[in-house]
Structure 1
Amino acid sequence: MLDGRTNRSMRWLSAAGVLLALLAAAPALATGVDDLDDPTLDPAPCLAAAAQRDDDRAVELCGRLIAKRNTGRDDRIKALIARAGALIRKQQIDRALADYDDVLRLDPKQPDIHNARGELWLGKGDHPKALADFSAALKLRRDHPAARANHRALATELERLGVQKAVDGKPSFDCRRARRAVEKAICGDRDLANLDREIAAMHLRILQDKASAKPAELRALKRAQADFLANRNASFGRPGYDLRAAMKTRLQQLTGAAGGR
């Protein structure tokens, strides 16, 4: 699994790819010296710099084109998309988002831009805005492959997070029936409650995965869990006993057993 930083970089680069599609559909671009001398007259130098991934130059040329009042709507949209792609590669995500916002104000019926902006919001961790953009892209184009994949993946992740939130701070047992001091301590501590639930879930998973194992092996697994609980109940409150450390150690043991199956 990729780490968070790598995931964010991949999403931002994916959003920058919108520019490539734009340039592929555009006519051949002039790149003469005269064009570069006055980039406010023609979007070609701006788009050419972006296509060549000369990001500093693209930001400069496209910015001058965008700033010119009499730049046509279509040329302004192209320049904004081109500059956004350059800004994404420069990791200036907030500025890229602002350019995509301007594009959609000029033309809200652009599914590629909705999807690209959604990927940027996803990279920033703003799930509601990302989901809204993916949904908008699909509303405009039901068969948009990237938006459909992004929407499905994000919806699944939000469902998983919702389930986690629902059980957060709840142990594997009913706290209303807690009688032992150690159980009450677990119920009163969110981290301990989560540890207890994870231990119980991991133990159950191992038993299910090894359902076809020899009876002696299954008995040994059950006995190890019973011994842990018995020791926990008997040792809690005694000098030197660290409940949190004991629970973390047990979880590590179970995780190792699950990984070695």
Structure 2
Amino acid sequence: MLSAFSAGAALGATGGEPAAVAQVDIAPCLAATAADDMDKANAACAAVIDNEKTAKADLVKALVARGALLARHDQIDRAIADDSRALQLDPTLADVFNARGELWLKKGDKPKAVQDFGAALKIDPNHEKAKANHKAMARELERIGAQMAVAGKPSFNCVRASRAVEKAICRDRELADLDREIFGSNARAVREARNPAEAKALQREQDEFIARRNAGYGRPGYDLKKAMQERLQRINGVDGY
């Protein structure tokens, strides 16, 4: 018996029939992630993912499954790490690009989210989730870009500013933003007025504020920033409406 065993082992080691290699069982990992069982999944998936003998296709499946489970449990960074590793192994996974994009969005990284949604659409132009996500994020980035374009700029042209108070507003980004918000909020209030008389009264109140601001700036005790903040709050109401 011993000699027969030794002969068989030697055959495998010297170029005869190759010795059988035990296949890594991915089923427990997939079952645990599908059941949303974090405890079992941690052990079962690690046994697959950390095993250098795991086949590439099975490794990708385990990473994607564990990544989805981690995402459901708000372990965002770990989920991104699993999705990223899966995409390194197989960069054709549109679903995983979209999933990672949604994770980037949860982290507040909008540029990376848009990049992943775009990558998903390059792979699958008809990917419905990626299309919806990409469209929504493109609009959001356009809105942010528009806000950045006017950030630090008041409602009036600083080149034509002649009053001391206007020049002070132009020199201070915070005051400039306040001025633009006051102008926009007042325009909204006038536009949404219930009747022409109310709209006229609202605009008159704004004109009176500007007149007081112009006259008060530079006088002892006058706080321009405070006056502007109070005006914005008055227009929008205590709750911001």
Where structure 1 has 5 or more consecutive residues not aligned to the other structure, the ranges are 1-39
1:255 maps to 236
Deviations 1:93-118, CA, capped at 9 Å, x for gaps: 22221211121122111110000011
Aligned-partner residue type, residue 119 of structure 1: E
Deviations 1:174-229, CA, capped at 9 Å, x for gaps: 1111111111111111010000011111112222233x713x32321121011100
Where structure 2 has 5 or more consecutive residues not aligned to the other structure, the ranges are 1-22
Deviation at residue 74 of structure 1 after TM alignment: 1.9
Note if contact 2:24-2:53 (Cα within 8 Å) is conserved in structure 1. Answer: no
Deviation at residue 259 of structure 1 after TM alignment: 7.3
Structure 1 Cα separation of the partners of residues 177 and 126 of structure 2: 41
TM-score by length of 2: 0.85
1:126 maps to 109
1:135 maps to 118
Note if contact 1:169-1:191 (Cα within 8 Å) is conserved in structure 2. Answer: yes
Deviation at residue 136 of structure 1 after TM alignment: 1.1
Deviations 1:22-76, CA, capped at 9 Å, x for gaps: xxxxxxxxxxxxxxxxxx8311111111111111321221011111122112211
1:246 maps to 227
Structure 1 Cα separation of the partners of residues 113 and 203 of structure 2: 45
Deviation at residue 127 of structure 1 after TM alignment: 2.0
Higher-Rg structure is 2
1:218 maps to 199
TM-score by length of 1: 0.78
1:173 maps to 156
Note if contact 2:66-2:82 (Cα within 8 Å) is conserved in structure 1. Answer: yes
- CA RMSD in angstroms, aligned pairs only: 1.9
Note if contact 1:55-1:89 (Cα within 8 Å) is conserved in structure 2. Answer: no
Structure 2 Cα separation of the partners of residues 85 and 154 of structure 1: 22
1 or 2 for the larger relative contact order (CA 8 Å, sep ≥6)? Answer: 1
- 1:151 aligns to 2:134 (yes or no): yes
1:16 maps to none
